[in-house]
Structure 1
């Protein structure tokens, strides 16, 4: 018999793993699909010191603990890469190169990846001096000079980490002297770091080398002067791109940057499809907020499935009356109660009350989520 999961989670970073914990604990048959490392981008972080209750750990260790927790509760984790999806309808279909997965609900927790600027030499020297992950590659540049591109939280914090290994870290900044895009605490620490030097009002113009990076050309934005700077490595921290390419041909709404649009309960534009983690636009992108998203999305999926079970078991293909009302409207409930008495006398099989505030998925299914007064329909 073809297997249909209650919940499939795409992505095994903190958001996906937290969703797996909550989904499995709610007794939903839960599958987590991950094409890369368990733990997602967080797994590449060597030190996490702001996760409540865990004073210090690494992203890899946290991912390992979270994945074991999800599996212990009954979730299944499978390594696979989803290429296409069919999300409309009661059953969602996700396809990899060799396999097809089906579920009643889906959470996309696919995260983001580093942005590539396309500067001359950037692609040519990727893996040969050009890097996007300090945790992965900083150690390779021990006692060598490197360049960091970017001035946001990630760039400055990763630059300080790189300074533990490199002899000098030169940070190229677009802004005037003293202006960084990162938080104040990180900026103060970076300014005090004797190994970190800032190159203000500048952009990286070109990366040059033979077998590996040997130097870069830096352009001053005010004078247009080009300066050669010897270095052995170039680290880019200039933003992240949502991993949603495989969703662009679907009816799922994405914003201009490719994030999946969703509401406060992490419902996407398609019923039964939810979003968690950095793949959605939000104010703070951290491990703890990703995990929180996973919990919210899984609970929302559980509620969605409960309401869809009501539809399948009590409404679909049955001669029933459905009364839609707002629980803040006591008169509306009175009106529907009177209607129920009349219909019971006409031998209606069942009368189902749907509170549009509490049963939002059924209300949306019948396109009644925004009604101002009670409404009644007969399903035959």
Structure 2
């Protein structure tokens, strides 16, 4: 759904068909999943509960929804078909929020929630529940009533949101919702083992994956070991392949193979390929998911890929032009186009006309000092890794180089919680 699109009432989504990009129906919407926030801030919409033709109900993250229009939901086509399990921080919008008795803030009058609306935030992919349709009097959604109905802002009612006090995982997550993954990782690191496991279990897969990538190795192993195996495999899939490979490499062989078997075959193949390289080499450091374009792609195509909010700034800094196939390992690597060059040329220009083909790519066996020297010599934030046959294998980003060059305890010595955050994390 495009930014600035009209709000949608959830009653209009019940039973709506869900389609993949090819137009094939994959299921129907049965509920929506939201996370409440402290105070009167609107809840964040996390995703949809979709019932497949087999009657299995799965979770579809909002990041996988590309459109809600004309009575249908369109997805990216990437679905995790494991059965939906509600987590402690999650609320079912239809199942738990509708027909609920709440109060109007201004008057204190009790009203019944008949419906709520959702809307995508401008210039972002996040969705929120923004308004509430209520009825005065004692009639509920499934009981006829002649009470007055009105639509109000979420902040105009009370009776939904989390209390400011309370130190359960739900309240803690709401408090730290706006933290960057590295900062939330620092909070988790300083929690007790029990509380750390509670918070990790309550995080959604993508958020937990981002946080795991920022945690020390011991914390990563501890958290992963306390998750159910299927959930652990989901989180590993959500991690960058190079980080997942590093984490799996620290596990006993039996555990590693079991988790790889539970992962989707394409995701597991990327991780296995990375694990074949020594850790402190270009092959061991690289990600297998850089932006790859074919020679006939245009500047407009490249910029559309660069805008993907899931990409790190380093990966979005340049695109790699290769012969088909355009998934790693690719066909022949032709060269790199830097983001600044994309901004200087007309949208219809072919990327093959803008190649930086002078810069030599890294070999997968290049050791860490050579990789670091490359970044320092050429002022790069990402570099292509190409094998002897000329295929692009992936790209190394500067953050991965720094992670392996800094002292092992750098997270302990460089990051400190301020007094307020530390007190909240420990429930004081």
Name the structure with the higher helix share. Answer: 2
Asked if these proteins are the same fold (TM beyond 0.5), I'd say: no
TM-score scaled by structure 2? 0.22
Larger relative contact order (Cα-Cα within 8 Å, sequence gap ≥ 6) = 1
TM-score scaled by structure 1? 0.24
